[in-house]
Amino acid sequence: MKNLENHFDRKRRSFLKLSGLLGLGAASAALLPAEKAEALLFGNKEYKVTKTKLAMGSFVSMTAIHPSKDEAEEAIGLAFEEMDRLNKILTHYDASSPVGSLNSSGKLEAAPQEVLDLVARSLYFTRETGGAFDITVKPLIDLYKDSFAVKHTPTEAEINQAAERIGSDGIQFHNGSLLFKRSDMAVTFDGIGVGYIVDRVSEVLREKGVVNHLINAAGDIRVSGKAAGGKAWTVAIQDPAKSREYPNIVAMQDGAIATSGNYEVFYDNEKLFHHIINPRTGHSPQLASSVTIMAPSCMDADALSTSVFVMEPVAGVQFIERQADYECFVIDKDGNSKYTSGWPV
């Protein structure tokens, strides 16, 4: 998913995603360009202020349309501060973070409200999707990553062993704390956390009076209000085949859109092993190339794009068709498009 006005080099983005959606080492970050900011005046009435920087292990761009350049820049600065604060809470790449502590010890006493809220929403999607979405999939993700790092293809026995550690029914809430019922469990918010943070950041901008804005966190996009000149924001779906054509272009004013695809982070040339894993089988789905979800919140779009990818194209589109407030656009492995009846085409 790309915003037509602000997009990043995909090869660099692939490296960033492989480094970790919610975390990137300092050595890697040092290789990347510094943040970028610009402000353009439109019709002597409003400024288009854009700031792009490295955050959450990828490039994040915020664009605001506002009569005051200074107020827009201040609001964007505060929004990035909130993004950094939330990322420190939700990342599992830092062993000292709340999520890192939960994964290492199997419990998190007096869990931050942000963690409790996100776990609760994640469990909701696990139930609604029949297990297609599951934040306890981390052992399988680690198996893929660690195995291919040493040029080893995971065996079926290794996959089955990792799968035994998966299951959201092993997460227990108790008086504001979180407990794992089984040993060696671990969670990751990589399939929902960025969307959650983008929603929270959008709230910061609105609270500061910057109603008209677009946030693009490596393809998790939240729009509010209108773009420059009172127009709708324009968002284009990336072609998984990496051609110069966009399979679909969407005009939006309020809402969110997120894409999951197998074309950016994969471990083998055949793409039999990529970063999206079916928690129920331990294998990466093969029938879809990309899934884009349109939803009221970026958190929901983020989680559902992963869920539908796991469900496979036909079943996934049928699932979203039955849901209120959501639409989806799927490109299968052969390049064919399938979408819900309410998708704007």
Q: Please check whether the domain covering 98-180 is classified as CATH 1.10.150.20.
A: no
Terminal Cα distance for the chain, rounded: 16
The confidence score (pLDDT) of residue 71 equals 97
Token readout for 112 is 């931050």
The confidence score (pLDDT) of residue 130 equals 97
> What is the DSSP annotation of 269-292?
TT-SSBS---TTTSS---SEEEEE
The confidence score (pLDDT) of residue 243 equals 73
Q: Which of 53, 46, 4 is nearest to 24 (CA)?
A: 53
* Residues contacting residue 52 through CB under 8 Å, at least 6 positions apart: 6, 35, 36, 37, 59, 60, 61, 62
The confidence score (pLDDT) of residue 43 equals 67
Return the percentage of the chain with pLDDT > 90, whole number: 77
CA angle 169, 142, 194 (to 5 degrees): 70
CATH 3.10.520.10 occupies which residues in the chain? 33-90+192-339
Q: How far apart are CA 162 and CA 140, in angstroms?
A: 6
CATH 1.10.3980.10 occupies which residues in the chain? 98-180
Identity of the amino acid at 297: S
pLDDT string in tens for the chain (345-residue length): 444 333 333 333 332 233 233 433 222 333 345 577 777 776 668 999 999 999 988 899 999 999 999 999 999 999 999 999 999 999 999 999 999 999 999 999 999 999 999 999 999 999 999 999 999 999 999 999 999 999 999 999 999 999 999 999 999 999 999 999 998 999 999 999 999 999 999 999 999 999 999 999 988 999 999 999 899 999 999 888 877 688 999 999 999 999 998 877 788 887 888 889 999 999 999 999 999 999 999 999 999 999 999 998 999 999 999 999 999 999 999 999 999 999 997
pTM reported for the whole predicted model: 0.88
Beta-strand runs (E) in the chain: 2-3, 36-42, 46-55, 58-66, 107-108, 171-174, 177-180, 212-217, 220-224, 233-237, 248-252, 255-261, 288-295, 327-332, 337-339
Q: Which of 147, 102, 135, 7 is nearest to 63 (CA)?
A: 7
Q: Which of 103, 122, 102, 120 is nearest to 111 (CA)?
A: 102
Pairing relationship of beta strands 36-42 and 2-3 according to DSSP bridges: unpaired
Superfamily of domain 33-90+192-339 in CATH is ApbE-like domains (3.10.520.10)
